[in-house]
Structure 1
Amino acid sequence: MTTPGHCDGEVCVTCSDEAVPVTVLAVDDDGIARVDTGRGVEEVSVALVDAAVGDVVLVHAKEAIASLGPASRISP
Structure 2
Amino acid sequence: MTPQEHCHGEVCVTCADTAERLRVRALLGDGLALADTLADTGAGPEEISVALVDAGEGDVVLVHAKEAIAVVRAVPDGTGDRGPDGSGAAPRGEGP
Q: TM-score, normalised by structure 1?
A: 0.74
d(CA) in 2 for partners of 1:66, 1:8: 22
Q: 1:8 to 1:35 in 2, by over 3 A?
A: closer
- Partner SS state of residue 28, structure 1: strand
- Relative contact order higher in (CA < 8 Å, ≥ 6 apart): 1
* Counterpart contact for 2:25–2:35, Cα < 8 Å: yes
- CA distance in 2 between partners of 1:66 and 1:48 (Å): 8
The alignment covers a number of residue pairs equal to 70
Larger radius of gyration: 2
Pairwise CA RMSD? 2.4
Q: Are 1:43 and 2:59 matched, yes or no?
A: no
Alpha-carbon distance in 2 for matches of 1:27, 1:68: 17
Unaligned runs of 5+ in 1: none
Shift of 1:15: 2.8
**Kindly tell me: are residues 17 and 71 of structure 1, through their superposed partners in 2, closer, same or farther at Cα, counting changes over 3 Å?**
farther
The two structures have a TM-score, normalised by structure 2, of 0.60
Residue 54 of structure 1 corresponds to 58
